[in-house]
Amino acid sequence: MKDPRSILITGASSGIGAALAVHYARAGVHLFLGGRNQDRLLAVADKCRARGAVVEITLLDVTKREETTAWVQAADDRVPLDLVIANAGVSGGTGGVITGEPAEQTRHIFAVNVDGVLNTIEGVQDRMVVRGRGQLAIMSSLASFAAWPGAPAYSASKAAVRVYGEALHGALKQSGVRVSVICPGFIETPMTAVNGYKMPFMMGPERAAALIAAGLARGAVRVAFPLRTYVFAALPGFLPPAVMVWLLGRMPAKPAQTQG
């Protein structure tokens, strides 16, 4: 959507979510921002209001289905939503231990990264279809293209929402509702700050937000960047599975549970 005026963003208290909120903020825009950190969310809201936007914030745990759906629908009741960005997510990996990820960490990552996306979009999807317009944007990752032994739950959860979002794009296309999936590489956020390894082609959240907004304005099915990281992430999928797992196993593991 080229000129969204009513926008809802989850995970808006930091990182890409915060940068997207500020990017879209201007006079005539109504922002509904959800996040888990009240102080950071208030700071983001202040920046957006300084740019002329009307901003409403709420403390939000996207794993709580009824609460999330109620918030999204209440926002849509106030100002029909043009764009919903299901951005909230958490990261985590094995930390390099041979026993893999703790079971609770695995379930938490899936709860936020997969259930959280569904909880965000399901409350407004049918409403957008009835209106014949609107856009749903789902935050995935370039990690979704790789079976990364160092972050099994993270890469799998991001693969799940990427495939779901791209399939949903096709399912809703004739309704007038666009679905876009966002697949960023390494972005300077609290989530990546804990990674103890080199992250190639890192970019700031402001640049990422600009690229995402441009892709959403085009109605792109997939907004993946930067190109060099995209190519590197996608290539292993063309290899025999045993070779792919061996190759990706040489990459450093993500630290154990971090949230962002």
| DSSP H helices in the chain | 15-24, 38-50, 65-78, 103-110, 116-131, 152-172, 190-193, 205-218, 227-234, 241-249
Decide: helix, strand or coil at residue 150. Answer: coil
The identity of residue 88, as a single letter, is A
Q: How far is CA 39 from CA 2, 12, 33, 36, 205, in A?
A: 31, 12, 13, 9, 19
| 208: CATH | 3.40.50.720
pLDDT above 80: residue 200: no
Catalytic site positions: 154
Residue 213 maps to a domain = yes
Cβ proximity of 113 and 141 under 8 Å = no
Average pLDDT of the residues in 125-146: 96
d(CA 27, CA 12): 19
Residue 57 lies in a domain: yes
Q: How many CB atoms lie within 10 A of CB 228?
A: 11
- Mean pLDDT value of segment 125-136: 98
The pLDDT score that the predictor gives to residue 238 is 64
* Spatial separation of the C-alpha atoms in residues 247 and 250, rounded to whole Å: 6
pLDDT band at 6; cut points 50, 70, 90: very high
pTM exceeds 0.75: yes
The radius of gyration of the chain's CA atoms, rounded to the nearest angstrom, is 18
Is residue 123 one of the residues assigned to a domain?
yes
* Helices vs strands, H then E, count in the chain: 10, 9
For 8-33, write each residue's pLDDT tens digit: 999 999 999 999 999 999 999 999 99
Please state the rounded mean pLDDT for residues 150-179: 96
User: Per the structure, how many domains does the chain have?
Assistant: 1
| Residue 57 clears pLDDT 50, i.e. is over it | yes
Q: List pLDDT tens digits, range 174-183.
A: 999 999 999 9
Placement of tokens 């936007």 in the chain: 53
Q: Which residues pair with 31 in a beta bridge?
A: 7, 55
Average pLDDT of the chain is: 89
- Considering the domain boundaries, does residue 1 fall inside one? no
pLDDT in tens, 76-129: 999 999 999 999 999 887 766 676 788 999 999 999 999 999 999 999 999 999
Q: What integer pLDDT is reported at residue 258 of this predicted model?
A: 43
For residue 72, give its domain range. Answer: 6-259
Q: How confident is the model at residue 259 (pLDDT cuts 50, 70, 90)?
A: very low
* Rounded Cα distance, 9 and 213, in Å: 13
Q: Which helix (H) or strand (E) holds 138?
A: strand 135-139
Cα dihedral across residues 53, 58, 63, 69: positive or negative: negative
Determine the Cα–Cα distance for residues 180 and 111; give it in Å rounded to an integer: 21
CA atoms within 13 A on the CB side of 158: 26
Which sign, positive or negative, has the C-alpha torsion 31, 32, 34, 40?
positive
Q: Distance from CA of residue 9 to its chain's centroid?
A: 9
CA distance 180 to 186: 19
Mapped onto helix, strand or coil, the DSSP state of residue 139 is strand
How many whole angstroms from its chain centre is CA 236?
23
